[in-house]
Amino acid sequence: MTMVRSYSELSRLKTFEERYKYLKLNGKVGDLKFSGNRYWNQRFYRSPEWKRVRNEVIIRDHACDLGIDGRELSKIYIHHINPISLEDLKRGSSLLFDPDNLICVSHMTHEAIHYGDESLLFIKYTPRKPGDTCPWK
């Protein structure tokens, strides 16, 4: 039986590491999720309904990786906590737009969740400071 995960449960976990372990899927690189049916995927992610719920999730999570304050993201991915399938897209599953099935992540966190590769994570997060990218300091 497949474990159903939720943002409600995830939000009770306090650390980034705990949240990552809760979400980790251990897939394989190259697993074909939508294969030749990318049309469905692209149609979904361009829909006004998706854009609305995506913005709600970003606001809820304060645009932070796994919703952890202090891990602000500049490029935000929205991860489906319970992975969606082509059939979910075709039949309009409630999982698609349910905020309890969505979380903000970085690209690397998203890859680590799907492939179970903790080496992709930047566990020792250092918050940005004004001027920290200045090349002459």
- Answer yes or no: is pLDDT of 2 > 80: no
C-alpha span between 112 and 20 (Å, rounded): 8
Q: Phi and psi of 112, rounded to 5°?
A: -60, -40
Does the pTM of the predicted model rise above 0.85?
A: no
pLDDT at 56: 97
Q: Where are the domains of the chain?
A: 24-120
C-alpha span between 57 and 100 (Å, rounded): 9
C-alpha span between 98 and 74 (Å, rounded): 23
- Answer yes or no: is pLDDT of 135 > 90: no
Cα dihedral angle (26, 30, 33, 34), rounded to 10 degrees? 170
Per-residue model confidence as pLDDT tens digits over 10-51: 999 999 999 999 999 877 544 456 666 777 888 899 999 999
pLDDT at 123: 58
Contact 99, 7 (CB under 8 A): yes
